Amino acid sequence: MMMHRAARVEDWLHGTREGFARRRGYLPTVIPYTGYGSTGWVRILCRVLLAKPAKPGRSASTRRRWRSDRRDAGIRGWRSFTSVPVNDVTVTIEVNGQVHRVQADRGGVVDTVVRVSLEPGWHVAQLHTDASTPVEAPLFIVGPTVHHGIISDVDDTVMVTTLPRPLLAAWNTFVLDEHARVPTPGMAVLLDRLAATSDGAPMIYLSTGAWNVAPTLTRFLSRNLYPAGALLLTDWGPTHDRWFRSGSEHKRANLRRLAQEFPDIRWILIGDDGQHDEAIYGEFQRDFPGSVEAVLIRQLSPSEAVLAGRRAKDAVVETHDPRWIYGPDGSSLAAQLAEHGLL
């Protein structure tokens, strides 16, 4: 099938920028993301970008302090979008003594499953290209006796936003200092309690955000004491057959995938009533009824709802299913979960 014109233009731009960056001495760098899996396989996630090499004479500890100081001084999201992805590069994955070589996609993204035997809990994989220094990617392995997990949206669910939804992605990506992002009241405590109630439960953050902002989101979640987990984001821009990727389809596809990968796990789904989460979670519950333990929906305030592009009369009618719980913040949702014996 012929590639979409926009995708061909994007590839040409990437190729031009890659050539320019390499002439300036930029080198491939693997950006690792948290992966997940079972005791027999693991999903590896990373992205390969061209980055400026470290200045000679600067020690590793000094470089780490410099990067930390720079983050503390504030990072604008646009910096992540000025990085140059490396197209179709080979990435070597080393995990538990096994070596796998896989190919990154057009945007430099690796999203692949490798077969490996690992014990439940946290592990690391070593990732590198032929021209890059190895980096560590955290991996969370779900044990066969685990029967509960948590899947949470990000924008307007764990992070409060106060902008019209059409401007939200651009603002969060290109302008907003990561320290200015505001956590949803009580939500970090709720997610931490949910993760603690079932030992070894996987924590998944499912968002329509771009992979470019994964490091920023990871720091935000860590700084605000959200439980560690895998981020499932998407790659902005055109695909082979359309101008832009569908955020809703990205969520649907990953929910289906998780249900098929972990058929014995019942998920607690967390989202908001700003736009599509209720419809997406409702479809998932209909298609995989045995995979849903509960659905928690954060209710936006009237002003937040307007900014999200939904008027009050557009709100989805609340279901009478007792597993669907609505509340304005994490504390309210936790109290109702406790009443239902789910927390």
In this structure, the answer to whether residues 240 and 111 fall within a common structural domain is no
Which tokens belong to 71?
Answer: 């983050």
In contact, 316 and 278? CB cutoff 8 Å: yes
Q: Please give the model's pTM, rounded to 2 decimal places.
A: 0.81
Confidence check: pLDDT of 77 > 70: no
pLDDT tens string 84-95: 788 778 999 999
In this structure, the answer to whether residues 94 and 199 fall within a common structural domain is no
pLDDT tens string 3-25: 545 555 555 565 666 565 556 65
Of 79 and 153, more confident: 153
In this structure, the answer to whether residues 201 and 286 fall within a common structural domain is yes
Query: What's the mean per-residue pLDDT of the chain?
Result: 80
In a domain, 56, yes or no: no
In this structure, the answer to whether residues 133 and 33 fall within a common structural domain is yes
* Domain extent for 95: 5-51+62-141
- Domain boundary residue, one of 141, 164, 181: 141
In this structure, the answer to whether residues 72 and 182 fall within a common structural domain is no
**Nearest by Cα to 46 from 67, 35, 31, 56:** 31
pLDDT tens string 304-322: 665 555 544 444 445 678 8
Reported as a pLDDT band with limits 50, 70 and 90, residue 248 is confident
Say which CATH number the domain at 31 has.
Answer: 2.60.40
> Residue 44: what pLDDT?
97
> Residue 209: what pLDDT?
83
In this structure, the answer to whether residues 129 and 269 fall within a common structural domain is no
Confidence check: pLDDT of 1 > 60: no
Structural domain tally of the chain?
A: 2
Reported as a pLDDT band with limits 50, 70 and 90, residue 58 is very low
In the predicted model, what is the mean pLDDT of residues 169-179? 55
In the predicted model, what is the mean pLDDT of residues 225-229? 96
> Residue 64: what pLDDT?
34
Cα–Cα dist 112/134, whole Å: 18
Confidence check: pLDDT of 103 > 90: yes
> Residue 311: what pLDDT?
47
Confidence check: pLDDT of 278 > 70: yes
In this structure, the answer to whether residues 32 and 71 fall within a common structural domain is yes
> Residue 241: what pLDDT?
44
In a domain, 9, yes or no: yes
In a domain, 57, yes or no: no
In this structure, the answer to whether residues 109 and 128 fall within a common structural domain is yes
Reported as a pLDDT band with limits 50, 70 and 90, residue 62 is very low
How far, in whole angstroms, is CA 32 from its chain's centroid? Answer: 12
In contact, 104 and 111? CB cutoff 8 Å: no
Question: In this structure, which amino acid lies at residue 165?
Answer: R
pLDDT tens string 251-271: 999 999 999 999 999 999 999
> Residue 20: what pLDDT?
57
- Domain boundary residue, one of 117, 141, 165: 141
In this structure, the answer to whether residues 154 and 13 fall within a common structural domain is no
Cα–Cα dist 19/89, whole Å: 14
Residues in the chain: 343
- Domain boundary residue, one of 80, 111, 141: 141
In this structure, the answer to whether residues 135 and 25 fall within a common structural domain is yes
> 41: which strand partners?
38, 115
Say which CATH number the domain at 234 has.
Answer: 3.40.50.1000
